[in-house]
Every structure is written in C-alpha cells, then in structure tokens.
C-alpha cells in the first residue's frame, strides 16, 4: 500500500531560502513545459509529421538548454525541474483519462513544492539530506516502514513540510484492531461524529474562536489597499491562520479515524451524496468542513493496515429516517429535528445515534451475507457496497 507520512521541517534561514528556490525552479520548469506542450501540440495539429509532445521529450529538451538559458537551475537539485515535468505528464494523463481538468500554470505562493526521487535524499532519524543543501532537521522520525519512494517538500503559509511516500507491506506494521466488533459512524453537523455506541465525538475545540478570527482577518484584508505592504502582511497572516485551522482539522480527523480503526474491525459509514448536499447551502459548509472524503480515505487505509474493513452504505440508504428498532421508515425528517419518536414502535430516537446504529446494522448484515449466512429479518434491506479493499494510493505526488 502506498502511503505518505508528512513531517514538519525546521530549516535554518539559508536552508529555507534554498527550499524556496528549489520550489521556484520546479514551478518554472512546470510552467515552461506546459507552455512548450501547448506550442508543440498546436504545431503537431498543423503538421502531423511533427512529434506529439511528451514529458520524456520535454525533459530532454530542458536538459539540453538549461545550462545556457537557465543556468540558475543548476543551483538546486536536478530533481526539482525533472520531477515537475514528470508531474506535468501525470497531469496530462489524468486529463486524457477524464479524471482532471486541463493542466494549469502553477502560481507563486500557491502550494509551492518540489519532489525528490528516493536516490536523491537520505534519512537519518530526525533529519533528511537534500542534494546541494545537506541535512535539514525534521520534527519527528519517519513512522512508516517499507520501501521509500519519494519525498515532496512543500510550503504551507510560512512553514515547510516533507511528505515521504512509502510502499508499506499490507497490514503488517499496525496492531490488529481490538475486538470491539462492529460500529456505525454518522458524521454530523453538530458533532464531528456520532457512534452507534452512543458516543459523541465533538469537533476540535480551538476551532470556533479561530473561525471568528478568520472572519475578522478576511474582512480587514478586503479593506486594505491593493498592492500595499499592509495588504501583503494581512494576506500572510490570513494564510497562516488558514494553515493552522487546517492542521487542527486534520489532526482531529486523524485521531478519530485512528481511534475507530484501532477499536473496531468493521466500520459502517454513509456514502454521502456530496454533490446533492452541496446544493443545500446550509449543509455545504459543514460537509466541506468535515471533509467526508478525507474521512473515508483515512478510514479505509487505516482499517486495511489493521486487517479491518469499512462498509459503505448505498448512497440512497435512509440511515436517518429509518427506525433502528423496528425498521419503520419516515417519509421526511427535516435536518432541524434532532429527536423523534417512531410511530411504528414508540421508541424515542436521537437522530444521529439512530443513524449510526442503522449504519452498524448495515455493516453487520453485509458482512454476514458475504459469508453466505442469513441476516436477521430486522435489518434494513439495502444494497450494500463493500469498501474497496483494493490497494489504494492514498498519496498522489502531483
């Protein structure tokens, strides 16, 4: 399984300057190659005897001219321009396969990054060695074992990180899940998650105050004169705050998915129809906040590492509207209704706990029927889609 471990770097000033220059070189090479690609493609359309553009040819082309035209490129690792053009090739592959839009030019200050192949760096405990630069301190050691494939060094606001991609042997380096059986998880609007056990996992605490500050800062930014030093400063401040909020969310999400996969071997979740929900403006924000896809991605790879499984309900499965006690299905249940009484059996339900219990039952019955036994008659009849246990690449070096 391909996974990546992201670690903060502690570069000194000289090193930070080098990292910025390497990222700048990568961006320049990417943009140069993209412009060349367009030009060569148009030339090929006009005259089919000319070669079609390719990342291999563009890399050769850049190598042939860089000494003369871009001598400053030689000051940083040769991986920076080379890997950027390989990534452009991947971006075009994704475009041709219909998975992504046409590649666009990289912008300065937006996801600045460069990638090193595994023969171009080495790790030693809490440090990483980068060509032409030497050792840079990492905040922690690499926690994964397996074959190291690449390292991508990137900047978020004013901080540098390295993301090390590792091909790990399957479910061998994490302890198996504790045997707490199955669980259903309802990702919520009010709480981060509600479990079928009745536990509520609140969202990260620091969050709300920071969101208020975010609103204030973006307002103050909009009042600053364009091009002024004050605007630049306010922008940097805002970027820092965004990064901090994202880090808090990521941390909360990792804690939740680690805890779940550590305790339960089978986890039932919903397959949210995110497109449909985004149409609902009230929900859009919270769904984006919860980043449901990230939740599912983490659950799936962490469960696979512990030998567990994730069962995803059919996207039309009404986990909220169905009574988990008798199976009675409501016609409607507005989002504002947090508690309801089942007209079928009289049980009083907490909306989220009920949904989580249904998801748990769904997961249980799907694993039972997968073994060829019959599920209990009370369980909701729904089409189940087992979690893809395929070797998912949870890290894409683009």
Question: How many Cα atoms occupy the beta-carbon half-sphere of 19 within 13 Å?
Answer: 29
Q: How far, in Å, CA of 174 to CA of 182, rounded?
A: 19
Q: Provide the 3-class DSSP secondary structure of residue 283.
A: helix
Options 10, 270, 271, 289, the catalytic residue: 270
Give yes or no for residue 328 binding Zn ion (CB under 5 A). Answer: yes
Q: How many residues sit in the footprint of Zn ion (CB under 5 A)?
A: 7
Residue among 8, 189, 248, 325 that touches Zn ion (CB under 5 A): 325
Closest separation in Å from C-beta 185 to Zn ion: 21
Rounded least distance, CB 380 to Zn ion, Å: 12
* Sole window of 129-137, 169-177, 271-279, 344-352 interacting with Zn ion (rule: CB under 5 A): 344-352
Instruction: Tell me whether residue 301 or residue 317 sits nearer to Zn ion (CB atom).
Output: 317
Q: Which is nearer to Zn ion, 87 or 365 (CB)?
A: 365
- The C-alpha atoms of residue 319 and residue 324 are separated, in whole angstroms, by 9
Our CB check for Zn ion shows the closer of 214 and 330 to be: 330
Q: Which is nearer to Zn ion, 346 or 386 (CB)?
A: 346
Stretch binding Zn ion (CB under 5 A), from 93-101, 129-137, 315-323, 379-387: 315-323
Tell me, rounded to whole angstroms, the distance of Cα 116 from its chain centroid. 21
User: Taking contact as CB under 5 A, which single stretch among the options 174-182, 276-284, 296-304, 328-336 is the one that binds Zn ion?
Assistant: 328-336
Report in angstroms how near the CB of residue 321 gets to Zn ion at its nearest. 11
Beta-bridge mates of residue 3 = 166
Based on its alpha-carbon atoms, the radius of gyration of the chain, rounded to whole angstroms, reads 25
Least distance CB 339 / Zn ion (angstroms): 14
Give dist(CA 253, CA 291) in Å, integer.
9
Active site residue 186: yes
* 270 assigned to active site: yes
User: What is the DSSP code string of 61-88?
Assistant: HHHHHHHHH-GGGGGS-THHHHHHHHHH
Please select the residue that binds Zn ion; options are 183, 241, 305, 323, rule is CB under 5 A.
Answer: 323
CB of 317 to Zn ion, least distance (A): 17
DSSP 120: G
At CA 331, angle to CA 327 and CA 332, rounded to 5?
115
Q: Distance (Å, rounded) from C-alpha 25 to C-alpha 315? A: 44
For the window 345-384, what string marks contact with Zn ion as x by the rule CB under 5 A?
x---------------------------------------
List 167, 352, 373, 392, catalytic entry: 352
Which of residues 114 and 317 has its CB atom nearest to Zn ion in the complex? 317
Between the CA of residue 306 and those of 143, 173, 386, 387, what are the distances in Å?
15, 8, 17, 14
Do 100 and 91 contact (CB within 8 A), yes or no? yes
Closest approach of Zn ion to the CB of residue 328, in Å: 4
Element (H, E) at 287: helix 281-290
**For tokens 């990342």, what's the residue?**
55
Instruction: Examine residue 344 and tell whether it contacts Zn ion (CB under 5 A).
Output: yes
Write down the least CB distance from residue 349 to Zn ion, Å: 8
Total count of residues recorded for the chain: 398
**Of these, 58, 342, 355, 387, which contacts Zn ion (CB under 5 A)?**
342
d(CA 201, CA 185): 10
**Bridge partners of 259?**
none
Rule CB under 5 A: say whether 343 interacts with Zn ion.
Answer: no
Query: In the complex with Zn ion, which residue's Cβ is closer, 224 or 328?
Result: 328
What are phi and psi for residue 387, nearest 5 degrees?
-60, 140
Residues annotated as catalytic (active site), given as ranges: 186, 270, 352
Interface contacts to Zn ion, rule CB under 5 A: 323, 325-326, 328, 342, 344-345
């Amino acid at each position: 399984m391909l996974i990546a471990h992201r670690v903060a770097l502690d570069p000194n000033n000289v090193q930070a300057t080098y990292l910025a220059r390497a990222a700048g070189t990568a961006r320049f090479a990417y943009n140069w190659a993209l412009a060349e690609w367009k030009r060569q493609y148009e030339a090929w359309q006009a005259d089919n005897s000319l070669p079609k553009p390719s990342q291999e040819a563009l890399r050769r082309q850049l190598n042939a001219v860089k000494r003369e035209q871009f001598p400053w490129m030689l000051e940083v690792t040769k991986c920076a321009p080379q890997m950027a053009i390989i990534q452009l090739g991947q971006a075009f592959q994704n475009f041709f396969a219909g998975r992504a839009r046409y590649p666009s030019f990289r912008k300065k200050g937006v996801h600045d990054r460069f990638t090193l192949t595994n023969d171009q760096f080495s790790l030693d405990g809490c440090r990483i060695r980068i060509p032409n630069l030497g050792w840079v301190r990492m905040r922690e050691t690499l926690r994964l074992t397996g074959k190291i494939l690449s390292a991508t060094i990137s900047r978020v606001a004013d901080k540098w990180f390295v993301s090390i991609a590792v091909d790990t042997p399957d479910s061998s380096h994490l302890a198996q899940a504790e045997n707490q059986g199955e669980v259903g998880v309802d990702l919520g609007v009010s709480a981060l998650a509600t479990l079928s056990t009745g536990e509520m996992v609140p969202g990260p605490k620091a969050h709300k105050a920071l969101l208020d500050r975010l609103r204030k800062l973006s307002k103050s930014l909009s009042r600053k004169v364009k091009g002024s030093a004050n605007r630049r400063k306010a922008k940097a401040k805002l970027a820092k705050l965004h990064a901090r909020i994202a880090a808090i969310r990521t941390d909360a999400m990792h804690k939740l998915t680690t805890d779940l996969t550590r305790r339960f071997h089978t986890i039932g979740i919903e397959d949210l129809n995110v497109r449909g929900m985004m149409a609902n403006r009230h929900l859009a924000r919270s769904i984006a906040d919860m980043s449901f896809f990230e939740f599912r991605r983490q659950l799936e790879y962490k469960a696979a590492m512990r030998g567990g499984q994730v069962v995803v309900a059919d996207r039309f499965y009404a986990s909220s509207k169905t009574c988990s006690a008798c199976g009675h299905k409501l016609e409607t249940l507005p989002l504002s209704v947090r508690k309801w009484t089942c007209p079928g059996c009289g049980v009083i339900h907490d909306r989220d706990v009920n949904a989580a219990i249904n998801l748990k039952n769904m997961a249980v019955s799907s694993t039972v029927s997968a073994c060829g036994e019959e599920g209990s008659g009370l369980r909701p009849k729904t089409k189940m889609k087992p979690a893809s246990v395929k070797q998912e690449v949870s890290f894409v070096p683009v």
